[in-house]
């Protein structure tokens, strides 16, 4: 579980690591604080 630090430059590091292990989607939604949210899937498990 990764909480926080999924926006900006930190998102690039998180995406880079998770891209090697599975899939990662980082999107912007109309929510403050925390407008950048992430969702990933490793194998058949969603997280």
User: Is 14 a member of any domain?
Assistant: yes
User: Is 3 a member of any domain?
Assistant: no
Tell me the pTM: 0.38
- For 1-47, the pLDDT digits (tens) are 555 555 666 667 777 777 787 766 666 667 777 666 666 667 775 55
Domains held by the chain: number: 1
The tokens for 23 are 């899939």
Contact (CB, 8 A) for 41 and 23:
yes
User: Is 1 a member of any domain?
Assistant: no
User: Is 25 a member of any domain?
Assistant: yes
User: Domain of 30?
Assistant: 9-46
User: Is 34 a member of any domain?
Assistant: yes
Can you give the pLDDT at residue 47? 52
User: Is 29 a member of any domain?
Assistant: yes
Name the CA radius of gyration of the chain, rounded: 11
User: Is 13 a member of any domain?
Assistant: yes
Q: Name the 3-class secondary structure at 11.
A: helix
User: Is 4 a member of any domain?
Assistant: no
**To 10 degrees, the CA torsion angle through 15, 19, 23, 24?**
0
């Amino acid at each position: 579980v990764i909480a926080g630090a999924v926006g900006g430059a930190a998102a690039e590091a998180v995406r880079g690591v998770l891209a090697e292990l599975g899939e990662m989607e980082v999107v912007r939604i109309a929510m403050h604080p925390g407008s950048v949210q992430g969702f990933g899937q490793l194998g058949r498990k969603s997280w």
